[in-house]
């Protein structure tokens, strides 16, 4: 898989708070949902790849070790929605609602 966020992967990601990390993952998920709605599967795929990259960095962050189960389950759910058959029954509205809380918390923490 291509590395999309070189500067973040080089260490800057680990300076962000958990809410900021998840808010950034949510931004990529939002882009993927928007491209999916517009019918652009290539741009949707790229946004999903970027979301997975950021989520994998979040999982690798030692500060998030207590959230490992939640984060890996989130990764499975995203894969099920965007790549699989959406057996979990997620909707764009449900994804937006989930990630909005992190974006709001990150903004409040600044």
Residue span of the structural domain in which 47 resides: 18-108
- In angstroms, the CA 63 to CA 26 distance is 19
pTM of the model: 0.89
Q: Is residue 7 part of a domain?
A: no
- Classify each residue of 54-68 as buried b or exposed e, where b means 16 or more C-beta atoms within 10 Å of its C-beta: bbbbbbebeebeeee
43 within a domain of the structure (yes/no):
yes
- Residue-level pLDDT at 96: 97
Could you give the C-alpha distances from 48 to 31, 65, 66, 105, in angstroms and in order? 8, 23, 25, 23
Domain-embedded: residue 13 = no
Q: Which whole number is the average pLDDT over 32-61?
A: 96
* Position 62 in a domain: yes
29 occurs within a structural domain: yes
> How many domains is the chain built from?
1
Angle between helices 68-82 and 18-38 (to 10 degrees): 10
pLDDT band at 13 (very low <50, low <70, confident <90, very high): confident
């Amino acid at each position: 898989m291509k590395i999309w966020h070189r500067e973040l992967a080089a260490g800057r990601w680990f300076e962000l708070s958990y809410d900021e990390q998840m808010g950034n993952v949510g931004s990529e998920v939002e882009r993927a949902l928007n491209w999916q709605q517009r019918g652009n599967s290539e741009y949707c795929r790229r946004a999903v790849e970027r979301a997975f990259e950021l989520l994998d960095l979040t999982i690798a962050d030692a500060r998030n070790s207590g959230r490992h189960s939640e984060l890996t389950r989130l990764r499975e759910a995203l894969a099920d929605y965007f790549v699989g058959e959406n057996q979990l029954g997620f909707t764009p509205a449900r994804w937006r609602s989930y990630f909005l809380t992190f974006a709001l918390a990150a903004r409040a923490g600044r």
